[in-house]
Amino acid sequence: MKLIKGNLIYSPRLGELVTLERGALLLDDRGVILDVLAAPPESCDAEVIDCGAALVMPSFVDMHLHAPQYPMLGMGMDLPLIEWLNTYTFHTEARFADTDYARRVYRALARELITGGTTRVCMFSSLHTDATLILMEELERAGVTGCVGKVNMDRNGGEDLRETTEESKRETLRWLDRCGSFRYVRPILTPRFTPCCTDELMAWLGRLAEERGLRVQSHLSENENEIAWVRELHPDCPQYWETYAKYGLWKDHTVMAHCVYSNAREREALLRSNVVVAHCADSNVNICSGVAPVRTMLREGVWVTLGSDIAGGAELAMNRVITMSIRASKIRCMQSDGKENFLTVDEGYYLGSTAGHRWFGADGGFVRGVPLHAIVVDDGALAEPVRTLTLRERFERCIYLMDKSAIKAVWSEGRKVVG
C-alpha cells in the first residue's frame, strides 16, 4: 500500500470543490484508491509519499485533440478556416505517412501532455494506420491513457490526404487487429466528420461499432458553413446529428467536438442518447467559429467535457484550456446581459477533469475503487501572495497561472509516471 499525504483538492460534482488540508490518499499496490482521508492515520503499514505543502488534484482530461496537428500549433491563426485547412492542416497530417517523423513528433507530444498533467485523452490521429499505432505506443510509453482513433476520410480530404472507401475499411481492420497489444490506450472509431465520409463508409463504421462494442468520436456543428454543407450532402436529415444517427454512430458515450451551433432540438438529442460534448473554446474563438452555449447545455443536463482541439486551439495545457473556456463563457455572459452565468473556476476545472474522467468510468474526483489519476502541484514559485491563502485560492491561482514546471509529479492509472 501507499499513502500520499498532501493538500487534496477535487471537484465531485459541477460547481462543487472539496479541499482537504493535509489530507491523504491510501492506495493499494496497483494504485487503486482505497480511501480518501481528511487526515493521515497516526501510523499505517503503507509506504508514505509526503507531498508537503503541495496541492494534490485529479489530473486533466483532454477530450478532443488532433495529434498530427501538434507540429502546426500556433500557426496560421489569421487564416479563414478553409485556407487554414488547405495551407496547414492537410499537408501537416499528410506528413504522418512518414513513420520516423511520426515517432519523433508523437514522442514529444506524449511527453508534453503527461508533464502538463493530462493523463487521459480522447484523440484523433491521422488516416495513417502505422502512425496511429506509433502514437498509441508513445502515449503508453509516456503514461498517457485513453482512446485514439485512426481517422476515416474517404472524400473531401485534399490531394495528399485521402483513402478510398476500401482502403479505409481495410486499414481500420488492420489497425484494430493490432490494438490488442496496448494496455492503457484503446481504439475509438473516428469518422472525421460527415463531409469527409461517404454514406457507405459511415454505414460500415456504424455496423463495426455495434459488432465490436467500440466507441465513436467525431465533429458536430462547429460552424455555419459546415452545417449548410452537411445539409446539402444529407437532404434527408433535418439536422447534422442525424447524419450520424442514421448510421448507428450517435449512441451512448459518442464524443462530439464543438457543438457551437447545436440548437434546442440537437441538444435534446445529445441528452437523450448520452452523447458527450467536447467543448473547444480556444479553437472556436481562434478560427472564428463562435462560442458554444455551454451554460445552457449544463442547465439542460447535457454531458460537457473540454478539449484543447490543437491545432485550432493554440493551448495544449489543460489548465489554460479551462481558463479559455471561462473567458469564452464570460463573453456569452456579457452578450446575454448577465443572464447566462459564466463558468466559475470550480466549474471549469470540473469540466476539464471530473467530467472527462467520468467518460472513462471514474466519476466524482478522488473516490474509492478507481486507479489514481492525479497531479502534484507546487505553487511555491508563484508570486508571494498578500497573505496566507486558502486552499481554494491557491487552487484558483494554479489553474490561471501554472505552467508545467509547477507540476512536480503525475499519477496515471495508479502509476507514478512523472516526478
**Residue 253, phi then psi, degrees to nearest 5:** 75, 5
CB-nearer residue toward a second copy: 303 or 342 = 342
Q: Scanning the structure block, which residue is given the C-alpha cell 472527462? A: 356
The single residue listed with the C-alpha cell 479505409 is 168
Does 336 bind a second copy (CB under 8 A)? Our answer is no
Whether omega before 94 lies within 30 degrees of 0, making that bond cis, reads: no
Nearer to a second copy, 43 or 388 (CB): 388
Q: Which of residues 174-233 bind a second copy (CB under 8 A)?
A: none
Secondary structure (H, E, C), 127-186 = CCHHHHHHHHHHHHHHCCEEEEECEECCCCCCCCCCCCHHHHHHHHHHHHHHHHHCCCEE
> How near is the Cβ of 333 to a second copy at its closest, in Å?
6
Among 159, 235, 384, 388, binds a second copy (CB under 8 A): 384
Among 178, 273, 344, 416, binds a second copy (CB under 8 A): 344
CA distances for 178 relative to 121, 133, 166, 202, angstroms: 20, 8, 19, 22
Give whole-number Cα distances, 302 to 60, 194, 240, 277, 352, in Å.
20, 22, 17, 8, 15
CB of 121 to a second copy, least distance (A): 16
The distance of Cα 415 from the centroid of its chain, to the nearest Å, equals 20
Q: Which of 52, 380, 385, 419 binds a second copy (CB under 8 A)?
A: 385
Give CA 375 to chain center in angstroms.
Answer: 16
Provide the 10 A C-beta neighbour count for residue 20: 19
By CB under 8 A, residue 334 contacts a second copy: yes
The type of residue at 406 is A
Query: Closest approach of Cβ 110 to a second copy, in Å?
Result: 12
Given candidates 115, 125, 198, 286, which one binds a second copy under the rule CB under 8 A? Answer: 286
Instruction: Give the contacts of 134 (CB within 8 A, at least 6 positions apart).
Output: 99, 102, 103, 106
| Element containing residue 2 per DSSP (H, E) | strand 2-10
Give the Cβ contact number of residue 140 at 10 Å: 16
Applying CB under 8 A, which part among 33-41, 131-139, 154-162, 284-292 lies near a second copy? Answer: 284-292
Contact status: 238 vs a second copy (CB under 8 A): no
Q: In angstroms, what is the minimal distance from the CB of 249 to a second copy?
A: 29
Among 290, 336, 363, 415, binds a second copy (CB under 8 A): 290
If one asks whether residue 400 binds a second copy (CB under 8 A), the answer comes out as yes
- Spatial CA neighbour of 406 closest among 25, 51, 50, 107: 51
Among 285, 302, 351, 407, interactor with a second copy by CB under 8 A: 285
The smaller minimum CB distance to a second copy, of residues 255 and 328, is found at 328
Q: Does 288 bind a second copy (CB under 8 A)?
A: yes
DSSP state of 46: S
Enumerate residues 6+ apart whose C-beta is below 8 A from 311. 66, 69, 70, 72, 73, 74, 75, 88, 89, 92
- DSSP 8-state symbol, 87: I
What is the nearest approach in angstroms of a second copy to the Cβ of residue 105?
6
Contact between 408 and 377 under an 8 Å Cβ cutoff? The reply is yes
**Binding segment for a second copy among 35-43, 158-166, 264-272, 381-389 (CB under 8 A)?**
381-389
C-alpha to C-alpha distance for 340 and 300, rounded to whole angstroms: 13
Q: How many residues bind a second copy (CB under 8 A)?
A: 51
- Residue closer to a second copy, measured from CB, 246 or 330: 330
Task: Point out which span in 149-157, 240-248, 269-277, 384-392 binds a second copy (CB under 8 A).
Answer: 384-392
Smallest gap from Cβ 50 to a second copy, in A, equals 27
Q: Of 21, 166, 403, 419, which one interacts with a second copy (CB under 8 A)?
A: 403
Binding mask 296-325 for a second copy (x = CB under 8 A): ------------------x--------x--
Residues between 57 and 116 that touch a second copy (CB under 8 A): 70-78, 88, 91-92, 95, 104-105, 108-109, 112
Q: Which residues bind a second copy (CB under 8 A)?
A: 70-78, 88, 91-92, 95, 104-105, 108-109, 112, 282, 285-286, 288, 290-291, 314, 323, 326-327, 330-331, 333-335, 338, 342, 344-345, 382-387, 389, 393, 396-397, 399-401, 403
